[in-house]
Structure 1
Amino acid sequence: MSGFATVYGRRRGIAAINQSFGGKEMEQVAGIDLYAAIADREGATPASMALDKFIERLRAVTAGKDRLTGALNDLGARLFREKAYPLAHHCYEQASRHPQAIGARANLGRCEIRLGRPERARAIAASLTGQHPDEVAGWVLLGEASIVLERFAEAVAAYERAAQLKPDQPGVLTQLGLAHTLDNNAEAACTTCERGLALNPDDVDCLHLLTINKRRICDWRDLDELSTRLKAAVANGLDTVWPINFISEGPTAAEELNCSRLQARRAHAATAGRQEPWQPFKAAGDGKLRVGFVGYGFGAHPTAILTSAVFEALKDSPIEAHLFALSDEALTQQRQRLMEAAHRFHPVAGMSSLEVARRVREEGVEILVDMDGFSRGARPEIFAHRAAPVQILWLGYPGTSGADFIDYVVADPYVLPASMRKHFSEQPLYLPRFYMSTDPTRVVPAPPSRSACGLPDDHVVYVCFNATYKLNQRSMERMFRVLHGVPKSVLWLQASGRVAERLQHAALDAGIAPERLVFMDKLPHEIYLARYRLADLFLDTEYYNAHTTATDALWAGCPVLTRPGDTFATRVAGSLNHHLGMPEMNVDSDEAFVAAAIRYGLDAELRKATRAKLMHLRTRSSVFDSNGFARDLINLLQKVSAHHRRGGRPAQFRTG
């Protein structure tokens, strides 16, 4: 799904459910205000009441009255806005008893979604669409429920039908654009969102979807203007922009912190009123430090590739590693490896955030590590429940959580220098090495010939296998300048279809023959790794560096040229080079980047010497030393635990 988070789609689908769609409610009693009538003399509002007391008050207020369908629906809508979902559910349930109360039944389904029962919502939607196929409310509910259930193709079909019924309804088009995004159809998402934004230029959610999808398909038309508007919307408090998408807009560290804080507040709001009275933590009597790792990527995912060897090294250590897997997927070889490495592997994909938090507490976990942050499949609500007494952000999200429920962030002094610490809500835990773990057991097989991959044998091969949303105009224009400076060179990219065509057109506009861009489809990991042995130099991107991709290139023996910036995401590749012992591959400007890449392309001896140095260092530096990483991580976590058990606060902890 590229950089677009599954969880963002789930949350965005729910965020839109308070819309009111037509229906045929009966006329309500004139002038009645149920909300005010239910409030008691002590000033307690309906939203603050327990469900049984609320039902009692509602019965007393409505006794002897009829034609209340509309009034009950309105009361439910207000309670829904105030996040009193059980109370709103009761109101909608009462209102939906009338056979023509289509809107109330749809709203009841939306409540079911918020109460964690999307299958019930889907059943209500199926009933509505079957009985009233020409009413938009049932189709919209079906789309929302399908998104939560991650049945994205079904969501697309439902919203397409809703858009046919209401072609002038921009909100429906925004939801259809979301469904296309989650269904991995960025082209259709852009077309849909352009229609929606034309109908309502102020729809910031539609603006967000259009911006990120245009990046995915490398359509740079009007993108600078869209990006500027999106950043302004976030600055003004738009809280539906998922932070990992925001990175691609080139924000400052302060802007990233603001975006993350907005999402952290959403997570807080989602858990409001449902906080558990956790018992005080008691250390295990066996002397083991129980550490939980929560992640979506414990399967066929970069997280698994990066961490498997480290979890194996923790197996017989003082750390008892519990892996809480948020993804529900087939048993792959990678997932099996993690299951065998963990002290205990917990498949928790079908659980609510509160249920996961309870499981963490039941296991006696003292330190809980968020492996996702705001990346794909993230569940920050688990951490908002304060699932463990100490909570740490590591690996998956290259930035700050902006959350007061995350205490620490694992980093290194290069990727998170002192000048950036004021833009992080967490206390940094500095490792004396590159902050990402890697897997030195990966096999890099012999590659096929260059010609078999569509590459010329006698040309310099520059490569950038970064995801397409990272291939922004600035980065590509910089690469085109390099191709100008090295006539016998090509650029190897991972793209296909219309995206490849757009990049070829961009090359042509820059005076580069389109055939000098060579494209590769996604390949199985080992086969993909082998391709780096055919490349001479990896050219990094701006705003969002190569991260896991950079470790892949270096492990396979391909040097990486990068320009470290002023945010975490722009310094990861630079930190890799720094800790690898190749700081000369880090430059400080676009001009220096182009000059270094051209010099490298024109000097065969430099290419040979650089590759030889990399092959020497990759097995000797700390970057690809998983056992050493495990030792440093154990030491760090033990210090954090000791500090916590002494009653110390995160702000008092120092590692550098």
Structure 2
Amino acid sequence: MPDSGLAEILKNAQAFYQCGAYVDAAKSLEAALKIDPTSVENWYYRGVALQKMEEHAAAITCFREALAFSPDSFEPVHDLGVSLQAINRNVDALACFDKAVSLNQKSFEAYLNRGIVYSKLGNYKAELENYDVAQILRPDDETLLMNYGVALLQTGQFAKAVVHFQRVLKLDAYTEYARGLLLHAKMMCCDWSGLNQELLSLRVEISEGIPCIDPFYLLGLSDSMPDQLQVAKKFTEKHYSRSSVTLGGSQKYSHNRIRIAYLSADFHEHATAFLMVELFELHDKSRFDVIGISFGENDRSVMRKRLEASFETFIDVSAKSDKEIADIVRALEVDIAVDLKGYTTDARPGVFAYRPAPIQINYLGYPGTMGAKFIDYLIADQFIVPEDHQRFYAEKIVYLPGSYQPNDTRREIGDKPHSRDDIGLLDKDFVFCTFNNSYKITPQFFDIWMRLLQEVSNSVLWMLSKSPEQEKNLRKEAEIRGISGDRLIFAPHMELKSHLRRLQLADLFLDSLPYNAHTTTSDALWAGLPLVTCVGTTFAGRVAGSLLNAAGIPELITTSLEQYEQLALDLATNPTKLLTLRQKLKVTSRESALFDSKQFSKHLESAYITMWEAYQADASPAHIWVK
């Protein structure tokens, strides 16, 4: 073909690219490369078009072809890193960005993307160092400021994160997800200044359909079921709308056993693992082929080894892309895929968006609806999701008897700390405690706690320490309410068995809303510590009540703030009543439904069989009640 023909092809490719017709642009450039296969520019731009189409494997090939002819060309090196990063090949991507920076030390994008890769590799110090350089080059870039703020959150620098997100909103008040991140950062360090106005702005933006908050962060800020459903749906539609590229979930497999895959980033020392591990071990392997698929870190702990041993097949996919993981699930012919992450940290809902399994479930990790068309069921119980709440969930509800939460009856309670003396508590004090994460502490409940300290002489409030700013702010809030800040005692993180032991040294656990204690409730009850809760409206606000019911102590459940405060005061000022309750908890809880792991596994397996049989019979997913 003459040069004029090639020129015409390239002209068409450029026109297609500029109007967003990337498929046609890639085809035109493919034709051009047949004429001139040595063109660095054409290889590069075909890679860019494929990258826009999220065809990253093909894009990587194009960028490498370009680099074969021009090894030190900045653009192919940089964009090769972008595509490698997109499919989770982060070590290789980092090498590309290192080279890109060496080729162009004034490239904002190279420093930004190298920071993003360091984040995925868990090196937050290096991430922030790269963002610092990028900020010199482009100080008001919205994406950079957002990423910087998230990195500060991940490193526990909550007050600095607040400043960053405030700056983002000052530049653009409707920056996507910035308001939610700002509120979460403020709640993490218990900075409640301007909180009511911020929450009002959040509600307005949600009502207007503005993508202002991540679904998970909303759980700790709102008790509105309609808002939680709407935010989850919008989030899913925006980030995980893959209907045109699904692998198809309509296949019916003929296995001797139902094949179940649990997918999580938390198969290590993590709250989810502490709850789930015995369930994995107890699954009836004669009826179920149980697979673990891990996309999180391998901490090489005793828990990790126990988890790996609990599955018949365990696969580490931490270096693979969502599509590659979905392909693995599909190739394994999984009947039921269980998402243990939802929208929590390190979640991979993009895997499920490809529909790799015929039946897909949201369970345990994310306490709420995912609002996703690709999730069929949510596992709950009748306390957590009353039947008149079903309309606020995109999934069909699986109702387990007792509670939805599994437990590990093999978890050990340590022998240290031996006494209150070991951890800075006085024997004469009445110790209220709340070991909820700091974002679950609200001014409304803190008001109640301070009134309790006022009413109960020689009492203290024992809390989990998250940051120096959190401690400072809570002590200041106590002083505002007439309570000495010294009566707030902050506890560091401890390994589980030591944490369970120290819980036994407290007198009464105070729960909060709109996000209850979840694993923390089971920890307290396992340790023999009574917990007072107030029932909310959402899934996240009803878990503690579910667990107390299953433990056989429903008398610790209240339904109003007045009841909650009165019950806590009554127990704190009536030693005989509290002792009787602790003795009851010690005798009955271990024999209760909450800690009957064998029966729990049978109930869950019954649910799996019911949904599998419905699918085999071509029935659509429907609510399931396990008897």
Q: Distance in 1 between matches of 2:353 and 2:143?
A: 30
Q: Mark the CA change 1:622 to 1:544 in structure 2 (over 3 Å): closer, same or farther.
A: same
Deviation larger for 407-416 or 640-649:
640-649
Q: Distance in 1 between matches of 2:296 and 2:87?
A: 21
**How does 1:518-533 map onto structure 2 within 5 Å?**
518-533=489-504
Q: Mark the CA change 1:171 to 1:369 in structure 2 (over 3 Å): closer, same or farther.
A: closer
Q: Distance in 1 between matches of 2:81 and 2:312?
A: 40
- 1:636 shift after superposition: 1.8
Q: Is 1:307 matched up with 2:276? A: yes
- Find the counterpart in structure 2 of residue 358 from structure 1: 327
- 1:100 shift after superposition: 11
- Find the counterpart in structure 1 of residue 164 from structure 2: 192
Q: Is 1:341 matched up with 2:310? A: yes
- 1:301 shift after superposition: 0.5
- Find the counterpart in structure 2 of residue 644 from structure 1: 615
The alignment partner of 1:437 has SS state of: coil
Q: Distance in 2 between matches of 1:608 and 1:315?
A: 40
Q: Distance in 1 between matches of 2:81 and 2:307?
A: 38
| Contact 1:464–1:493 (Cα < 8 Å) also in 2 | yes
The alignment partner of 1:133 has SS state of: coil
- 1:655 shift after superposition: 4.8
Deviation larger for 509-518 or 244-253:
244-253
Q: Distance in 1 between matches of 2:268 and 2:107?
A: 41
- Find the counterpart in structure 1 of residue 98 from structure 2: 126
- Find the counterpart in structure 1 of residue 3 from structure 2: none
The alignment partner of 2:298 has SS state of: coil
Q: Distance in 1 between matches of 2:621 and 2:374?
A: 11
RMSD, matched Cα: 3.2
| Contact 1:461–1:490 (Cα < 8 Å) also in 2 | yes
The alignment partner of 1:334 has SS state of: helix
- Find the counterpart in structure 2 of residue 254 from structure 1: 226
- Find the counterpart in structure 2 of residue 479 from structure 1: 449
- Find the counterpart in structure 2 of residue 508 from structure 1: 479
Match of 1:437 among 406, 415, 428: 406
- Find the counterpart in structure 1 of residue 4 from structure 2: none
| Amino acid aligned to 2:146 | T
Q: Is 1:552 matched up with 2:523? A: yes
Superposed CA offset, 1:229-276 (max 9, x none): 33443444444733221211114111111121123224533x465433
- 1:356 shift after superposition: 1.9
Match of 2:420 among 440, 444, 450: 450
- Find the counterpart in structure 2 of residue 624 from structure 1: 595
| Contact 1:537–1:560 (Cα < 8 Å) also in 2 | yes
**How does 1:49-448 map onto structure 2 within 5 Å?**
49=24, 51=26, 53-56=27-30, 106=78, 109-239=81-211, 241-269=213-241, 271=242, 273-276=244-247, 280-284=251-255, 287-314=256-283, 316-446=285-415, 447-448=417-418
| Amino acid aligned to 1:564 | V
Q: Distance in 2 between matches of 1:94 and 1:437?
A: 52
- 1:126 shift after superposition: 1.9
Q: Mark the CA change 1:120 to 1:602 in structure 2 (over 3 Å): closer, same or farther.
A: same
Match of 1:569 among 527, 532, 540: 540
The alignment partner of 1:430 has SS state of: strand
- Find the counterpart in structure 2 of residue 16 from structure 1: none
The alignment partner of 1:140 has SS state of: helix
Q: Distance in 2 between matches of 1:162 and 1:263?
A: 28
Structure 1 unmatched runs, 5+: 1-28
Match of 1:47 among 22, 25, 29: 22
Q: Distance in 1 between matches of 2:558 and 2:250?
A: 51
- 1:288 shift after superposition: 1.8
Q: Is 1:635 matched up with 2:609? A: no
Task: Indicate the percent of aligned positions where both proteins have the same amino acid.
Answer: 28
| Contact 2:188–2:439 (Cα < 8 Å) also in 1 | yes
The alignment partner of 2:220 has SS state of: helix
Q: Number of aligned pairs?
A: 612
Q: Mark the CA change 1:291 to 1:277 in structure 2 (over 3 Å): closer, same or farther.
A: closer
| Contact 1:267–1:380 (Cα < 8 Å) also in 2 | no
| Amino acid aligned to 2:577 | L
- 1:226 shift after superposition: 2.7
Q: Mark the CA change 1:56 to 1:358 in structure 2 (over 3 Å): closer, same or farther.
A: closer
Q: Distance in 2 between matches of 1:363 and 1:156?
A: 39
Q: Distance in 1 between matches of 2:612 and 2:453?
A: 52
Structure 2 unmatched runs, 5+: 1-6
Q: Mark the CA change 1:217 to 1:290 in structure 2 (over 3 Å): closer, same or farther.
A: same
Q: Distance in 2 between matches of 1:139 and 1:498?
A: 30
- 1:146 shift after superposition: 2.4
Match of 1:492 among 462, 470, 491: 462
Deviation larger for 532-541 or 350-359:
350-359
| Amino acid aligned to 1:155 | E
Q: Mark the CA change 1:280 to 1:94 in structure 2 (over 3 Å): closer, same or farther.
A: closer
Deviation larger for 469-478 or 301-310:
469-478
| Contact 1:47–1:87 (Cα < 8 Å) also in 2 | no
The alignment partner of 2:591 has SS state of: coil
The alignment partner of 1:508 has SS state of: helix
The alignment partner of 1:561 has SS state of: strand
| Contact 1:408–1:650 (Cα < 8 Å) also in 2 | yes
Q: Which TM-score applies when normalising by structure 1?
A: 0.85
Q: Distance in 1 between matches of 2:212 and 2:53?
A: 18
Superposed CA offset, 1:76-98 (max 9, x none): 98886665667888998999999
